[in-house]
Every structure is written in structure tokens, then in C-alpha cells.
Chains A and B, each alone.
Chain A
Amino acid sequence: MSVIIASKIQSNPKYHELVKRRNTIGWSLSAVVCVMYFGFTLMIAYTPDILTAPIAADSVIPVGMIMGFGIIVASCLLTGVYVYMANKTFDPIIADIVQEASK
């Protein structure tokens, strides 16, 4: 990458917009996963009774099992959300930036 291209990108507001948006999304989604998983872990540690309560009076299935499955499914969904946003939003901006810089 030449110095000229680098300085063109550096002075392109679209690039700073991209970095800001992608970092916001990346760190926010990471925070969601951490809150979800460490919230679950803290519940295991401090309020296990909530997790082990059955989901219905006549069921043996504990609430925590649904939450555990929920975290697995949510992890897959959130990765899907990021990939979708990156394909739809970030990739076109990156293509723009690269094109403008190599003009």
C-alpha cells in the first residue's frame, strides 16, 4: 500500500465512519455475549435456585436448561447478525473507500 493511497484513505471521512461503526458494532455485540454468558455464570454462582426451578409444575426440565440452549442459539444468531451487517453495510463502504483512494 503506497503512502499516497494511505493518506487519501486517512483523509476520507467515509473511512473514519466505517471504523467507528464497525468498532461500535463489534464491541457492542461482544458486550452482549459477555453479559449473557457471565450473567448466566453469576446466576449459577449466586442464584442457582432460579436456574434449577422446573419450567412448569409437571415438568422435570429446569429453567436453566432453556437458558443454556438459549445462549447456544443466541451465539449463532448474533454471529449471523454481524455477518449480515458486514455484508450489507460494511463491504460496500470498504469498496467505495478503496475505489476513491486508487483514483
Chain B
Amino acid sequence: MRIFKTVSRTVLGLAALFASNLSYAFDVPAAAPAAAVPAAAPPLNWHAIIMFLIFVSITLGITYWAATRTKTAADFYAAGRGVTGFQNGMAIAGDYMSAASFLGIAALVYFNGFYGLIFSVGWLVGWPIILFLVAERLRNLGKYTYADVVSFRLQQGPIRIMAAISSLIVVIWYLIGQAVGAGQLLHTLVPQMSYRMSIVIVGVLIILYVTLGGMKATTWVQIIKAGLLLGGATCMAFGVMLHEGFSFAKLFSDAVALHPKGIKIMQSVVPIGAKANPIESISLGLTLMFGTAGLPHILMRFFTVTDSKAARKSVLYGTCFIGYFYILTFIIGFGAIILVANNPEYVVNVTKNILDLKGGGSMPAIYLSHAIGGNFFLGFIAAVAFATILAVVSGLTLAGASALSHDIYASVIKKGKADEKKEVWVSKMCVIGLGILAVLLGIAFEKQNVAYIVALTFSIAACTNFPIMVLSVFWKGLTTRGAVLGGYTGIFGSIILLIIGPTVWTKVLGNGPALFPYDFPTFVVLPVVLIVAYVASITDGSESAKKERAAFEAQMIRAETGLGAEVAASH
């Protein structure tokens, strides 16, 4: 009974929190107190706005081009399966490298030094696993969503509903994180643009890209963004190294000499001031590694390539781009210690704290671009950060819409007999719906602590999508019952342990000490999911389970050889 009370109180608390924020969202923007605007408004950042407009016009041009070539469902969901390995590698990098990882990891290095590298390594190691275990088999078995793969020989209805629920939870929460980040970033870069207006602009643009141009437009937005981000970050790292005489020894010793924490920035393997927690570190590692391999918008990219060979190549390119990018952000973070910290132009009050930057903790990389290349380069990097958000949000929205239209509408409601045109139409409506939802939630969550969002999305991906997908591909014994029970264990296990964990229970809800002492529940939930899926499968003696096991051989032949796999469109 007490448990029931606590749970209901928590749910009510969350609902109230949400409602109060949502009602805030509908406030008329003009009614916002004028005091929020600083007395002397900073000059309009014209460089950023012009470059941003150039990016938007180019991407809208591409969207128009893509729209004229998007006719079938395969065009809309999978870019006609005509994407090459190299293009998909760029798009993968563009889909995965978010503004949060660019600005966030650079900021982590700026404040904590070496720890920033430890953190970024975890975001890369999922990629080799994707290649070794799932990429080619995904391409050979799937059509538009990863649920196609899991439900290949299992019952369509229950599997797709489970997979769609987990995909949608991941996508919607990821969208909230991106939308809040977009609003804050744009508002900081161009203070004349309000937080809400920034989010609305993002929402409108991604609805245009995705409804009109589908996966083709999304892919090209991601490719251009990856090129801009890698190019911009390369220029920044080059500027830093030029300043340091191309000597890493000098870069690091200068940073140690200038940083208020001194040599500690080279000697702390946790954020400076935090306590080391072995179990938490391992759980974070599991979450990042297997979470990356279970993100629906990432997995969806493998259906866009011509064949399994291109799928495999694209992971190689993607991994190299992403790894290179993390090395650049590390150099950028150290460069910011040398060129941004202690500079009165960027720091709130140099006599108090030489690290504390105007505009908040995510600004080191942005200011570094100004220190290296003046207003022009700052404008460029600001526009790149914006492009980054658009590319990630487009990919997410398309993945969420395909879970609703392809898995729920076409496969569950219409039992696979949906008219193709109607399915694409439903998908476009879902894109519009998700776009509006992202805008509303982004506004509702403006003042919230959104730190737990990454933990939530990656935990569900690591505990549900990844293990169920691997079991369905590699283990003959998996049955519908095992996959569904295992899947829901992953979804609800992750959510419940996150709610009673330190971030949500203590920091967000203010309920005192957490009932579950770890931020990342994967080390508990993942083994439980595997056990549940195993036991529920081997004890399943039903007729359908026998058929599902018998169908494994044919599935494996297709997964391994690619015979019968979806082919690229001829046009």
C-alpha cells in the first residue's frame, strides 16, 4: 500500500510539474517581463544570421529536389536505398554528433581536462559493435524500421507494438533534449531571438525537411551538417595548434599552467570534485556502448544504403569521422582553457572565477571560435551548431514517424495490407504531429533539469532495442513471448529505476535520498532482460513458438547471404 502511495504521488508530481510547465508554454510571449532583456542589448550577430540563412536556403533547395524524387514508401523512409557507403558514413556522423556532444564535451574538457576524453571514448565504442554484429544483418533483413528485423519470424502485432513503444519513448525524450538545447543555444547566440521563437523555427524547418523530402532530404541535411561540423572543428583545432606551435606538449602544459585547478586537470579520472564510483562507471559504459547500438534513428540509416556491403563500409566511415571529431573536441576544450579562460571579453568576472563564462557553461567552444577567427568565424560556428540540431532532430522525427506509420499503422492496424500512398501520408502526418509535440515539450521543459534525458534514452535503447534485436538475429530459441516480455522488462525496468534513481528522485522530484543509488540502471536491467527473454522463450511450448524456431534457418540464410533482401530502387 505504501509503495502504491509513493508511486501515485510520484506520478501525480510529475504530471503536475508537466502541466504547470505546459501552461507556461501557452503564455503569450509578448507578456514576458521586459526585465529579462539586458539593459544594453548586444549587437545583432549578423554573421551568424546570414550564414544560418545560407544553410537554410541550401537545405530547403535540397528538400525541394528530394521532394520531386520521393514517390514511393522506400523513397520516403529509406531514400530509395540509393545512398552509398561514404554518403551514409557522413550521414551517420551527422545523425550522431549532436550539438550537445560538440559544445558539451568541449565544455567538459574546459572545466575538467583529461576527464573529457574518458567521457567521449564511451560514445565511440558502440560503433564497432554495430558493425561486427548488426549492421549487415539489419540491412539484409529489414525494410524501414528495426522492428522489421525483430518481427521477421515472430508475431507482427505484439513485437511491433513493443518495439514502437520503446522507439517512441527514446525518440520523444531525445527530441526534448535536442529542443531544449536548441532553444537555449540560439537564444544565447542571438539574444534578440527568444527561446520559444528558436524552438518554433527548429520545429517548422524539420517539418518542412521531413514531410517534403523524407529520408533523402534528411540524409543530405545530415551529410552537409557533418561536413560543416567536421570542417569547422578542424579549423578550430588547427587554430589552437597554430597558437601552440603544433606541440601537444606545449598545449597541455600551457593549459595546466593557466587552469585554476592546475595539474588536477590531468589527474582526475572523474569530474573534478566528484567521487569515483566503480559500479556507476561500468553501468555508464554499458549504457553508452549498447545504447548507441540500439538508437532507432541510427539503426534506420542502415536501410538507406544499396546493400550490406555499403552498410558495412558506412560504419567504417562513420566511426572514423566520429572518432576524429572527438579528438578535435578534446583539442578544442584545451584550446579554450588557453584562449578563452581569463579573457575579460568572455568571462563574467575575471577577478572572481576565470572559467565562469558569459552565457553559461556550454560556451567554451563558441568563444574559442571568436578568439581564433573573430566575429566571422563565431558566426560560422554558431550556424554550424544550429545546423547540427536540425540534422539530429530531422533524423529523430523521421524514426519516430516511421515507428507510428510503418509499425503501428501499416503492420498492426492494417495488418500489412496498407496502401503505400496512405502509409506515407500517415507518416507525414506523424512527422507534423511529432514536430509540434517537440516544440511544445521543448517549451514546457525550458526551466527543467534535463540532465537525465540522455540516461533515459540510452538506457532504454541499451536494455530493450539492442538485446532483443541481437537475440532475434542470433538465437534460434527466441520466441514472441520471450521478445515481448524481455522488451517490456527493458522499457519499464529502465524507467522505474531511473525515476527512483538519484537524478529524478532526489534532484528533480526532491523526494530525499534515492531508492536506487545509481544514475544508470543498465547493469541491473540488461542482465534481467536477457534472463526474462531466455526463460520466457524456452518455456514457451506453443505451436506458434515451434513455427518461430523453425523459421530461424530461413531468416539466417537471408541475414547471412542477403538473398531476398530489399533491393535498391532503379531510379
Residues of A that sit less than 8 Å from B by CB: 1, 5-6, 9-10, 15, 18-19, 22-23, 25-27, 29-30, 33-34, 36-38, 40-42, 44-46, 48, 51-52, 54, 59-62, 64-65, 68-69, 71-73, 75-76, 78-80, 82-83, 86-87, 91, 94, 97-98, 101
CA distance A44 to B263 in the complex (A): 18
| Given known A-B contacts A6-B554, A59-B249, A65-B117, A37 and B561 have beta carbons under 8 A apart | no
Residues of B within 8 A of A27 (CB): 132-133
12 contacts between A and B (CB under 8 A): A18-B560, A29-B132, A34-B129, A60-B252, A60-B256, A62-B266, A65-B114, A69-B327, A72-B326, A75-B128, A83-B313, A87-B309
Interface residues on chain B, size class: 35 or more
Contact of B285 among A5, A41, A80 (CB under 8 A): A41
Residues of A within 8 A of B281 (CB): 41, 44-45
Residues of B within 8 A of A1 (CB): 554, 557-558, 563-564
Q: Which residue of A lies closest to B560 (CB)?
A: A19
Contact of A37 among B122, B131, B252, B554 (CB under 8 A): B122
Q: Determine how close the nearest CB of chain A comes to the CB of B129; give it in whole angstroms.
A: 5
Residues of B within 8 A of A65 (CB): 114, 117, 266
| Given known A-B contacts A30-B133, A41-B281, A65-B117, A79 and B127 have beta carbons under 8 A apart | yes
| Given known A-B contacts A1-B564, A44-B269, A48-B269, A75 and B309 have beta carbons under 8 A apart | no
CA distance A71 to B312 in the complex (A): 20
B320 CB-CB contact with A under 8 Å = yes
Q: Which 5 A-B pairs have the closest CB atoms?
A: A45-B278, A1-B564, A52-B267, A26-B132, A68-B117
Q: Which residue of B lies closest to A80 (CB)?
A: B316
Report yes or no: B132 in contact with A82, Cβ–Cβ below 8 A: yes
CA distance A89 to B125 in the complex (A): 25
Contact of B125 among A33, A48, A59, A83 (CB under 8 A): A33
CA distance A5 to B426 in the complex (A): 37
Q: Which residue of B lies closest to A93 (CB)?
A: B561
Which of A26, A36, A40, A60 is packed against the most chain B CB atoms within 10 Å?
A60
Residues of A within 8 A of B323 (CB): 72-73, 75-76
Residues of A within 8 A of B561 (CB): 9, 15, 18, 94, 97-98
Report yes or no: A60 in contact with B118, Cβ–Cβ below 8 A: no
Interface of B is mostly: helix
Contacting A at CB under 8 A, from B242-256, are 248-249, 252-253, 256
CA distance A54 to B127 in the complex (A): 30
CA distance A22 to B137 in the complex (A): 12
CA distance A37 to B562 in the complex (A): 31
CA distance A2 to B385 in the complex (A): 50
B111-126 interface bits toward A, Cβ cutoff 8 Å, 1 = contact, 0 = none: 0001001100110110
Report yes or no: B560 in contact with A22, Cβ–Cβ below 8 A: yes
Q: Which residue of A lies closest to B284 (CB)?
A: A41
CA distance A5 to B560 in the complex (A): 14
Q: Determine how close the nearest CB of chain A comes to the CB of B308; give it in whole angstroms.
A: 9
B282 CB-CB contact with A under 8 Å = yes
Which of B125, B556, B558 is packed against the most chain A CB atoms within 10 Å?
B125
Q: Which residue of B lies closest to A91 (CB)?
A: B309
Report yes or no: B118 in contact with A64, Cβ–Cβ below 8 A: yes
CA distance A75 to B117 in the complex (A): 15
Report yes or no: B132 in contact with A45, Cβ–Cβ below 8 A: no
Contact of A64 among B269, B276, B289, B320 (CB under 8 A): B269
Q: Which residue of B lies closest to A38 (CB)?
A: B285
Residues of B that sit less than 8 Å from A by CB: 114, 117-118, 121-122, 124-125, 127-129, 131-133, 136, 248-249, 252-253, 256, 263, 266-270, 276-278, 281-282, 285, 289, 309, 312-313, 315-316, 319-320, 323, 326-327, 474, 553-554, 556-558, 560-564
Report yes or no: B553 in contact with A71, Cβ–Cβ below 8 A: no
Residues of A within 8 A of B558 (CB): 1
Q: Determine how close the nearest CB of chain A comes to the CB of B276; give it in whole angstroms.
A: 6
Q: Determine how close the nearest CB of chain B comes to the CB of A71; give it in whole angstroms.
A: 5
| Given known A-B contacts A68-B117, A94-B562, A60 and B282 have beta carbons under 8 A apart | no
CA distance A68 to B266 in the complex (A): 13
CA distance A29 to B129 in the complex (A): 8
- A15-B557, A59-B253, A83-B315 are known; give 5 further A-B pairs, CB within 8 A: A27-B133, A62-B266, A64-B269, A68-B117, A71-B121
Which of B129, B131, B327 is packed against the most chain A CB atoms within 10 Å?
B131
CA distance A6 to B551 in the complex (A): 11
Report yes or no: A72 in contact with B124, Cβ–Cβ below 8 A: yes
Q: Which residue of A lies closest to B556 (CB)?
A: A19
Residues of B within 8 A of A72 (CB): 121, 124, 323, 326-327
CA distance A44 to B118 in the complex (A): 9
Q: Determine how close the nearest CB of chain A comes to the CB of B330; give it in whole angstroms.
A: 8
CA distance A37 to B281 in the complex (A): 11
CA distance A45 to B280 in the complex (A): 9
Report yes or no: B266 in contact with A82, Cβ–Cβ below 8 A: no
Report yes or no: B117 in contact with A69, Cβ–Cβ below 8 A: yes
Report yes or no: B132 in contact with A83, Cβ–Cβ below 8 A: no
CA distance A5 to B561 in the complex (A): 12
Report yes or no: A98 in contact with B132, Cβ–Cβ below 8 A: no
Which of B323, B326, B553 is packed against the most chain A CB atoms within 10 Å?
B323
CA distance A22 to B122 in the complex (A): 26
CA distance A69 to B270 in the complex (A): 17
Contact of A82 among B253, B263, B312 (CB under 8 A): B312
CA distance A86 to B117 in the complex (A): 31
Report yes or no: B124 in contact with A75, Cβ–Cβ below 8 A: yes
| Given known A-B contacts A9-B561, A71-B121, A62 and B128 have beta carbons under 8 A apart | no
Residues of A within 8 A of B474 (CB): 23
Q: Determine how close the nearest CB of chain A comes to the CB of B73; give it in whole angstroms.
A: 22
Q: Which residue of B lies closest to A95 (CB)?
A: B561
Report yes or no: B282 in contact with A41, Cβ–Cβ below 8 A: yes
CA distance A45 to B312 in the complex (A): 34
Q: Which residue of B lies closest to A26 (CB)?
A: B132
CA distance A61 to B248 in the complex (A): 9
Residues of A within 8 A of B118 (CB): 40, 44, 64, 68
